């Protein structure tokens, strides 16, 4: 592989105009496609194999005009202090609002509060339910504008009016902190390379790669039902890995220049060595992201595949566009150790300063001398950070997780105040009595049985369809949607359903957004172990090929588990317990998003292996060329620690930039990935890895002879390049070219 990539790097360097033209053309094509395609909305949410989804599908069949998956909105009215919603003036205002809302072309129905018993007992709060014919993803802006207009007119009449429901879902805003993250990345690159031009290359290529990836997602959004969150996550991961991959190749290019190689040869060798590491690091990320499909949640699968596609683009750009841009830059990109004149370059260094070991060398030497102490300190530190993970509670965010400044959150709080906390998470019971001898008796029995359960406030009468073989019953719990008590009620109703089916042959299904969230959480929990086995197993096999070792990949996997558990502990501490919540902009603590653990496992594993590959391949390279195991560790850090540190800081800055998002899911993922990169890069890879390798010695690189013969030689260390004469075959090929 190293030889192939070496030739690719030299080809891209020589044919730089052609390579640059190809990437600019792809960016333009993707941009045109995105501009002409319909805007992305909120992806339709389906969970195959769950009871909640089965009930939704049944409603579509038996209640064809119901629009079970249509968007909903609740317009909540509150009278001024001392007044009631039943007062004539307020009643007239509400009825006028209901009439205006009913005129929308996408509106299926609007429930009048005074006809549907939707006024609180004290008379201070009322609500109108609006059902739409289409899902929130398909809802036009004009329908949302009509909601806002009607609410404003009611406010002008003296009422407090707020709107909740999925009809108001919009594209999340990431805020200015994302720009700050990119700015921090730029500063780190300038410090690392000592050159504005060299620092700009990774940023430029990363932006181009993300531009192509996100524009392609936008162009295909309508056709593939890709939600707005998909492009946000793809840009988050694509930007981080794009900068890192380019950083490693530019850094290796400067190191090759420092050894006196020609610029074309240095570009080829940088792509052949660092590029090989980039390919395998990218493969681990792709495996982890595509592996999310095993969960069998379409939305999560699409997010993973889209992000994986952006990573593939980042790898291809790093292998081709970086050497092309290095060709354009010429002598303005200086050898390692030299700074541009603008940043203080050109000054003569003293002999003592030139001979002084760098920070990576000093740190590795310290770890090699005291491996046991460093190992214990690192493991105990991560173990302490992981302790909160034992209290992990999972759920999906609803309007109660929105910032307190939003109308959705205000509507949620008003409904809780007027009708109780469970009113925001009603359970929809679907009774399929098609196989029952007495459907009406079955409907009545289901309602009576549910009324006898704990934590139930209201059970509405059964509402059968025209055929009379299926009915819906709404159950209002006494607890908020995300509470453990509500989850217990869902399971209790399902248990009763099994008994009812045995006696009446009627099937009882629990659905609604609350039940769907509970089913999603359970499905994700059940998929976590198989997903871990698949992803870690595939990556373990890949790393055996890369490092030609058994213990090094095993150490990498165990280190990853430490870092991801510590990161989950930090997420629980901030988003569930409320530690530092003000600093992070978390206005409402609660359960951790259901997909957070499995998503973190996938993404963090891929990113963790990046640093493992980049750092340890340098160590193996030194060991293969004759250095003692302990010295090889020091050599790996001398060449790689500065670059890996810069890469980790950049990735943390990019992920932390998404903490400013208005979307709680994006905020949580940004924080979780940023803290996970910190734990993995600076504690696992920088401390635990060298300590373990120092303790293992030669055993770290042991591989059974039969396995050594069976494995393909991918030559990540570039051994094949070392046997090539600089003035030999390649130079003659260049002359002939």
Please write the tens of the pLDDT for every residue from 263-314.
Answer: 999 999 889 888 888 888 888 888 888 888 888 888 788 888 888 999 999 9
3-state SS, residue 394: strand
pLDDT, position 732:
38
Is 45 exposed, middle or buried (CB count within 10 Å of its CB: 0-12, 13-18, 19+)? buried
pLDDT, position 177:
56
CA distances for 451 relative to 455, 492, 505, angstroms: 9, 12, 20
pLDDT, position 725:
42
pLDDT, position 164:
86
DSSP line for 226-238: --HHHHHHHHHHH
pLDDT exceeds cutoff 80 at 321: yes
What is the tens place of the pLDDT at every residue in 523-547? 888 888 888 888 888 878 888 888 8
Report whether 219 contacts 35 (CB < 8 A).
Answer: no
pLDDT, position 39:
59
What is the tens place of the pLDDT at every residue in 411-459? 989 999 988 888 888 899 999 988 888 888 989 999 999 998 988 988 8
What is the tens place of the pLDDT at every residue in 666-723? 788 889 988 998 998 899 989 999 999 999 988 888 888 888 888 887 766 666 666 5
Confidence of residue 734 (pLDDT cuts 50, 70, 90): very low
Q: Find, among 397, 350, 401, 234, the residue nearest to 302 by Cα.
A: 234
What is the tens place of the pLDDT at every residue in 236-251? 788 878 888 888 898 8
pLDDT exceeds cutoff 70 at 643: yes
Report whether 217 contacts 311 (CB < 8 A).
Answer: no
Q: Which H or E element spans position 306?
A: helix 298-329
Report whether 8 contacts 726 (CB < 8 A).
Answer: no
CA dihedral 693, 698, 703, 704 (to 10 degrees): -140
For residues 180-208, give the mean pLDDT. 81
Q: The tokens of 614 are what?
A: 């980049």
pLDDT higher at 666 or 160 = 160
Confidence of residue 727 (pLDDT cuts 50, 70, 90): very low
H runs (alpha helix) in 625-728? 629-656, 664-678, 689-696, 705-710, 719-722
**Mean of the per-residue pLDDT values of the chain:** 82
Rg of the chain taking only CA atoms, in angstroms? 30
What's the pTM value of the predicted model, to 2 decimals? Answer: 0.77
Report whether 72 contacts 167 (CB < 8 A).
Answer: yes
Report whether 569 contacts 388 (CB < 8 A).
Answer: yes
């Amino acid at each position: 592989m190293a030889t192939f990539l070496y030739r690719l790097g030299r080809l891209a360097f020589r044919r730089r105009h052609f390579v640059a033209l190809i990437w600019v053309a792809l960016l333009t094509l993707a941009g045109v496609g995105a501009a002409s395609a319909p805007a992305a909305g909120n992806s339709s949410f389906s969970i195959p194999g769950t009871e909640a989804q089965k009930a939704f599908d049944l409603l579509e069949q038996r209640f064809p005009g119901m629009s079970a998956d249509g968007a909903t909105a609740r317009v909540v009215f509150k009278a001024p202090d001392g007044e009631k919603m039943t007062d004539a003036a307020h009643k007239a205002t509400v009825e006028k609002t209901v009439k205006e809302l009913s005129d929308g072309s996408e509106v299926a129905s609007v429930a009048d509060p005074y006809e549907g018993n939707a006024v609180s007992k004290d008379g201070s709060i009322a609500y109108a339910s609006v059902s739409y014919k289409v899902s929130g993803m398909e809802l036009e802006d004009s329908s949302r504008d009509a909601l806002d207009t009607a609410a404003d007119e009611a406010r002008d009449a003296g009422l407090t009016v707020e709107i909740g429901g999925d009809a108001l879902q919009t594209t999340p805003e990431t805020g200015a902190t994302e720009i700050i993250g990119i700015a921090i990345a730029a500063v780190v690159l300038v410090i690392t390379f000592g050159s504005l031009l060299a620092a700009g290359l990774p940023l430029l290529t990363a932006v181009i790669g993300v531009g192509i990836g996100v524009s392609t997602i936008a162009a295909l959004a309508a056709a593939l039902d890709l939600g707005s969150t998909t492009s946000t996550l793809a840009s988050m991961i694509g930007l981080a890995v794009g900068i890192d991959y380019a950083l490693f190749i530019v850094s290796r290019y400067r190191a090759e220049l420092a050894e006196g190689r020609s610029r074309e040869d240095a570009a080829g060798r940088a792509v052949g060595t660092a590029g090989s590491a980039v390919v395998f690091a990218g493969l681990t990320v792709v495996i982890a992201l595509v592996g999310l499909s095993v969960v069998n949640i379409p939305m999560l699968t699409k997010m993973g595949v889209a992000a994986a596609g952006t990573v593939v683009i980042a790898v291809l750009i790093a292998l081709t566009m970086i050497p092309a841009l290095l060709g354009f830059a010429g002598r303005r990109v200086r050898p390692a150790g030299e700074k541009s004149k603008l940043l203080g370059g050109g000054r003569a260094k003293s002999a003592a300063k030139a001979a002084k070991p760098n920070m990576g060398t000093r740190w590795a030497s310290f770890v090699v001398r005291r491996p046991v102490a460093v190992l214990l300190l690192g493991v105990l530190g991560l173990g302490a950070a992981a302790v909160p993970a034992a209290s992990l509670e999972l759920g999906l965010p609803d309007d109660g997780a929105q910032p307190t400044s939003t109308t959705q959150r205000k509507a949620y709080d008003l409904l809780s105040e007027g009708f109780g906390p469970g009113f925001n998470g009603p359970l929809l019971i679907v009774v399929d009595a098609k196989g029952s001898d007495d459907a009406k008796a079955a409907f009545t029995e289901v309602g009576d049985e549910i009324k006898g359960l704990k934590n139930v406030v209201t059970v509405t009468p059964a509402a059968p369809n025209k055929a009379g073989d299926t009915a819906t019953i709404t159950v209002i719990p006494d607890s908020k949607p995300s509470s453990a008590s509500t989850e217990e009620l869902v399971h209790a109703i399902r248990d009763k359903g099994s008994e009812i089916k045995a006696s009446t042959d009627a099937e009882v299904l629990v659905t609604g957004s609350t039940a769907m969230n509970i089913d999603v959480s359970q499905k994700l929990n059940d998929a976590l172990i198989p997903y871990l086995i698949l992803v870690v197993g595939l990556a373990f096999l890949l790393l055996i090929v890369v490092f030609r070792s058994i213990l090094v990949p095993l150490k990498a996997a165990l280190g990853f588990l430490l870092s991801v558990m510590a990161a989950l502990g930090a997420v629980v501490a901030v988003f569930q317990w409320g530690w530092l919540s003000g600093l992070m902009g978390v206005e409402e603590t609660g359960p951790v998003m259901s997909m957070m653990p499995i998503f973190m496992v996938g993404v963090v594993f891929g990113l963790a292996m990046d640093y493992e590959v980049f750092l340890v391949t340098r160590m193996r390279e030194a060991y293969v060329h004759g250095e003692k195991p302990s010295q090889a560790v020091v050599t790996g850090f001398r060449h790689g620690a500065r670059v890996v540190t810069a890469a980790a800081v950049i990735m943390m800055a990019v992920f932390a930039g998404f903490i400013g998002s208005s979307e709680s899911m994006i905020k949580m993922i940004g924080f979780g990935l940023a803290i996970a990169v910190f734990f993995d890069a600076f504690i696992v890879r920088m401390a635990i890895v060298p300590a373990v390798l120092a303790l293992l010695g030669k055993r770290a690189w042991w591989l059974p002879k039969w396995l050594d013969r069976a494995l393909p030689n991918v030559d990540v260390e570039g051994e094949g390049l070392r046997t090539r004469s600089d003035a030999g075959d390649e130079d003659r090929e260049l002359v002939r070219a």
